[in-house]
Amino acid sequence: MIPNAAILFNRLRMRQLGLLLAIHEHHSLRKAAEQIGLTQPAATKMLREMEEAVGLRLFDRSSRGMAMTIYGEVLMRYAQGVYADLGGVRDELVAIKSGNIGKVRIGAIMAPAPQLLTDTLLRLKRQHPHLVPNVQIDTSDMLITALLQDRLDVAIGRVPDNWDSRELVFEPLGEEALSIVANPANPEVRNRKTTLQRLAKCAWVLQAHPSPMRKVIELVFMEAGIALPLNILETSSMLLTSSVLRQSDMLAVMPTLVARHYEERKTLSIVPWPIKRRLAPFGIITRKGRVHSPATQAFIQELKNGAASVGQD
């Protein structure tokens, strides 16, 4: 029988969780014991006590080493969270003692980056010069994975349809329109009478599945009764996409805000064929039940202020 949370809290110790993470890293009890400064018999006893405490087998032993069971993986995920939180506590204490409000790890999809995120970060740095924002730009699925693994404090993105959102809190910020973009020299940029059927014959750079952007463009082609282009390069990197477009006649789909950013700098141009479908709203994503550090709170509040001012323009 699996004990209740109060009993687990009393039975499990930090050293045991450290051993769990070390075994996962090395797949060897001996190497894990050496890493945390235990003898192998002491580590064996500690692991047995941990398995008895939860009432489940955490590792499968074999000649190839130790492999986590599904129960061990669950406990490891929470152990990673505990250690990450403790690391955050120390960083925050050091920051406050030195007169700072600390560090915030931010993940964001590309769309808000050129305007909303940039403006937010600049205002935040003016108000808190010693605050250290660390920013990662990626797709929503990658950002949520990092958030759940405690490698991010907050994400700006969307929760994919197939994602279990019970551990997440989502606060919408805005919608994303999409545009087709190309090299400014591409003839389709000046073709006001271009059609989707004509564009389908071109080579395209698209995000891979299960990207929401990929789903939208596939729906656009499907609803028009046109087969998806056959000549496709897949990447989630906006930097690679823009680089490929600048050196070829390929087409791509980007959030309109990002497309305008490139167009203003005359590196890419928007093809005059409007995509009427929009992506689902993006927003602030955090972990449910987590206490936000002062740095994270300051960033989220400034982000909301920025989104509200954009909405009033």
pLDDT tens across the length of the chain (313 residues): 665 555 555 556 777 888 888 888 888 888 988 988 889 898 889 888 888 888 888 888 887 788 888 888 888 887 887 777 666 666 666 666 655 567 899 999 887 777 889 999 999 999 888 888 999 988 888 899 999 888 999 999 988 777 778 889 999 988 788 999 999 999 999 999 999 999 999 999 998 877 888 889 999 999 999 999 999 999 988 889 999 999 999 999 998 988 998 999 999 999 999 999 988 888 999 998 887 888 899 999 999 998 887 544 4
Contacts of 132 (CB under 8 A, 6+ apart): 100, 102, 103, 104, 295
Alpha helix ranges (H) inside the chain: 5-11, 14-26, 29-36, 40-54, 70-97, 118-127, 140-148, 196-199, 212-223, 238-246, 256-264, 294-312
User: Is the sign of the CA dihedral 112, 115, 121, 123 positive or negative?
Assistant: negative
To which H or E segment does residue 170 belong? strand 168-176
pLDDT number for residue 100:
59
165 touches 159 (CB < 8 A): yes
Task: Say how far apart CA 202 and CA 200 lie, in whole Å.
Answer: 5
Q: Each residue of 283-308: b (16+ CB within 10 Å) or e? A: bbbbbeebeebbbbebbbebbeebbe
Task: Say how far apart CA 140 and CA 159 lie, in whole Å.
Answer: 7
As a residue count, the chain comes to 313
Helix (H, G, I), strand (E, B) or coil at 107: strand
DSSP 116: I
Task: Say how far apart CA 263 and CA 213 lie, in whole Å.
Answer: 20
Angle, CA of 22, 23 and 28, to the nearest 5°:
125
With a threshold of 0.85, does the pTM exceed it? no
* Amino acid (one-letter) located at 192: R
Domains in the chain, ordered, with CATH? 5-79 (1.10.10.10), 100-176+281-312 (3.40.190.10), 178-277 (3.40.190.10)
